[in-house]
Amino acid sequence: MKTFDSFHFHFIVGTQTLYGPMVIEHVRAHAAAMAAFFNEHELMPARVIPEVVTSPEEIVSAFRKANADPACAGIITWMHTFSPSKMWIGGFAENAKPLLHLHTQFNREIPWDSIDMDFMNLNQSAHGDREHGFIQTRMGLARKVVVGYWQDDDVLNRIAAWMRGAVAFADGRLSRVARLGDNMREVAVTDGNKVSAQIRFGWQVNGYGIGEIARRYSDAEPHDIDAIIEQYQERYELPDSVRANSVRFEKVREQAAIEVALRRFLAETGAGAFTTTFEDLAGLPQLPGLAAQNLMADGYGFGAEGDWKTAALVRAMKTMAQGLLGGTSFMEDYTYHLEAGNELVLGAHMLEVCPSIAERKPRIEVHPLSIGGKDDPARLVFNAHPGNAVSATIVEYGNGFCLIVNEVEAVSLPRAMPHLPVARALWKPLPSFKEALELWILAGGAHHSSFSYAVTTEMLEDYARMAGIDIVVINSTTDTTLLRTELERKLRGSLQLQ
């Protein structure tokens, strides 16, 4: 049983007929042995299906099969022998799947004492894969190149990261993003071109009136609300101050009824992610807080204030993170601790932070919302756990999208903050607070992000390559002068296009 059982990958192994049928038989047996190893290995989150190709016709047919297979999330190629690359042009020209070129060799070591020309003819990846790489570069094909022995963990981890990115990319083409209400009025960074987004990422971002939820909220059956309340009690701490207080407990039941409505609506529309806005809540008593948090815990993407790009990114990163520890959440850079030498970012939101990143069991609380003029919403309050994490955001410049990633160190909260009634995370951006924030701001990075302890920069790089968008990575190895120069060059290019 793999983490992703509804997606798999095609493993296309290249050779040619020049060396006779015995060599092709060896190639077939080796491809099967490698696929079996990958499929049994715990590091690999999805299955591969091997296929050996020897001619242009077989290559085109292999790519057509992959293209026509909706469960195929990507293609891994490897040349066991030389496989002349003009044979591959037709297949690559039709390819519609993410590509990974595995540059490996079936034999780990040179058999010094027995090596002969038969061995040399069979084990030609060293030059067969160069010919293969040339044609992909010649055709301008984006792909990941992974080098090393196919049984080594570092090689498997790089393939696994790409598989996670590819499954998130495939999921993005299938699921929808439901926007409940429009963008928060006057806000720029959360908005953007939804047509471009669908062309790039496959995201179908569709708008709906909040009345869709209000109607289902009014129709929510008491037994469905009770079932959600039961789940709240299992997953979260429901203190007596809320449970025994009829006014407060009613606010929790209202969130449960909103959740019943949201779940029904998301299932009916096939949406894997959604947005809300506190400016458009007609017919609902509260802003979805606890409801949005509990939905995120089940893998739904979420963006506040109409932020559909972040909602889709949270969904994508939750998909990448499946089966990994650490959690992934919608996040906002909220306020700073500017103690000299110990500068920190306090991340939070009005309500909607995912409990998957909580340090301990989150507590349900009811407090007034400081803006929006609605009832006091129920929400989960908790601290995010310490650990390495990434903060990622997608922005649109008018001439393209960019994924901006900052690697950070989440730290324990030093004080209790008893008057802050929201979930929160505290982190140090890398390479340093000042460098990271300068570069993030210069790149136009948003205040909303997807924050994850499970997703790695490598998965995000792979995802960005599949979408054909730029990525800016800010981490401990960032050369600030170099990246600043690059961002300023990009800025001048962007000005010339407007």
The residue (of 114 and 370) whose beta carbon lies closer to Mn ion is 370
Determine contact, residues 224/180, Cβ cutoff 8 Å. no
| CA–CA separation, 302 and 311 (whole Å) | 4
Alpha helices in 87-145, H assignment, sequence order: 89-94, 117-122, 125-138
Shortest Cβ 352–Mn ion spacing (Å): 8
The residue (of 75 and 348) whose beta carbon lies closer to Mn ion is 348
Bridging pattern class, strands 99-103 and 72-79:
parallel
| CA–CA separation, 401 and 464 (whole Å) | 9
The residue (of 262 and 304) whose beta carbon lies closer to Mn ion is 304
Determine contact, residues 451/347, Cβ cutoff 8 Å. yes
> At 137, phi and psi to the nearest 5?
-65, -40
The residue (of 169 and 330) whose beta carbon lies closer to Mn ion is 330
The residue (of 214 and 304) whose beta carbon lies closer to Mn ion is 304
Shortest Cβ 304–Mn ion spacing (Å): 5
Q: Does 333 bind Mn ion (CB under 5 A)?
A: no
Q: Does 352 bind Mn ion (CB under 5 A)?
A: no
Shortest Cβ 435–Mn ion spacing (Å): 25
CA trace torsion 326, 145, 314, 445 (10° rounding)? 110
The residue (of 258 and 304) whose beta carbon lies closer to Mn ion is 304
Strand extents, DSSP E, 276-386:
301-303, 328-337, 344-348, 363-366, 378-381
The residue (of 304 and 430) whose beta carbon lies closer to Mn ion is 304
Shortest Cβ 135–Mn ion spacing (Å): 46
Shortest Cβ 305–Mn ion spacing (Å): 5
From 102-110, 243-251, 304-312, 361-369, give the range in contact with Mn ion by CB under 5 A: 304-312
Task: State the Rg of the chain over Cα.
Answer: 25
Q: Which of 75, 87, 304, 403 binds Mn ion (CB under 5 A)?
A: 304
From 1-9, 256-264, 330-338, 388-396, give the range in contact with Mn ion by CB under 5 A: 330-338
Shortest Cβ 330–Mn ion spacing (Å): 9
The residue (of 131 and 280) whose beta carbon lies closer to Mn ion is 280
- Other CB atoms within a 10 A radius of the CB of residue 98 amount to 26
From 41-49, 153-161, 332-340, 400-408, give the range in contact with Mn ion by CB under 5 A: 332-340
The residue (of 51 and 332) whose beta carbon lies closer to Mn ion is 332
Supply the DSSP symbol for 127.
H
How many whole angstroms from its chain centre is CA 107? 35
Q: Which of 129, 131, 254, 332 binds Mn ion (CB under 5 A)?
A: 332
Shortest Cβ 340–Mn ion spacing (Å): 28
From 4-12, 256-264, 284-292, 301-309, give the range in contact with Mn ion by CB under 5 A: 301-309
The residue (of 302 and 453) whose beta carbon lies closer to Mn ion is 302
The residue (of 283 and 372) whose beta carbon lies closer to Mn ion is 372
Q: Does 212 bind Mn ion (CB under 5 A)?
A: no
Determine contact, residues 378/255, Cβ cutoff 8 Å. yes
Shortest Cβ 331–Mn ion spacing (Å): 9
- Other CB atoms within a 10 A radius of the CB of residue 3 amount to 17
The residue (of 305 and 435) whose beta carbon lies closer to Mn ion is 305
Helix (H) or strand (E) holding 471: strand 470-474
From 6-14, 140-148, 272-280, 324-332, give the range in contact with Mn ion by CB under 5 A: 324-332
Shortest Cβ 303–Mn ion spacing (Å): 9
How many residues touch Mn ion under the rule CB under 5 A: the total is: 3
| CA–CA separation, 411 and 153 (whole Å) | 29
From 33-41, 266-274, 326-334, 451-459, give the range in contact with Mn ion by CB under 5 A: 326-334
Of 230, 252, 257, nearest to 241 by C-alpha is 252
Shortest Cβ 285–Mn ion spacing (Å): 21
Distances (CA, A) of 248 to 243, 251, 368: 7, 5, 11
Shortest Cβ 448–Mn ion spacing (Å): 6
The residue (of 348 and 402) whose beta carbon lies closer to Mn ion is 348
Shortest Cβ 139–Mn ion spacing (Å): 42
Residues 55-94 vs Mn ion: string with x where CB under 5 A? ----------------------------------------
| Cα-based angle 479, 484, 485 (whole degrees, multiple of 5) | 105
| CA–CA separation, 27 and 14 (whole Å) | 9
CA trace torsion 418, 406, 396, 172 (10° rounding)? -90
Q: Count CA within 13 A, CB hemisphere, residue 390.
A: 24
| CA–CA separation, 132 and 88 (whole Å) | 8
| CA–CA separation, 232 and 298 (whole Å) | 13
Contacts with 405 (C-beta within 8 Å, 6 or more apart), sequence order? 390, 391, 392, 457, 460, 471, 472, 473, 474, 475
Q: Which amino acid, 134? A: F
Shortest Cβ 289–Mn ion spacing (Å): 13
Question: Given the rule CB under 5 A, which residues bind Mn ion?
Answer: 304-305, 332
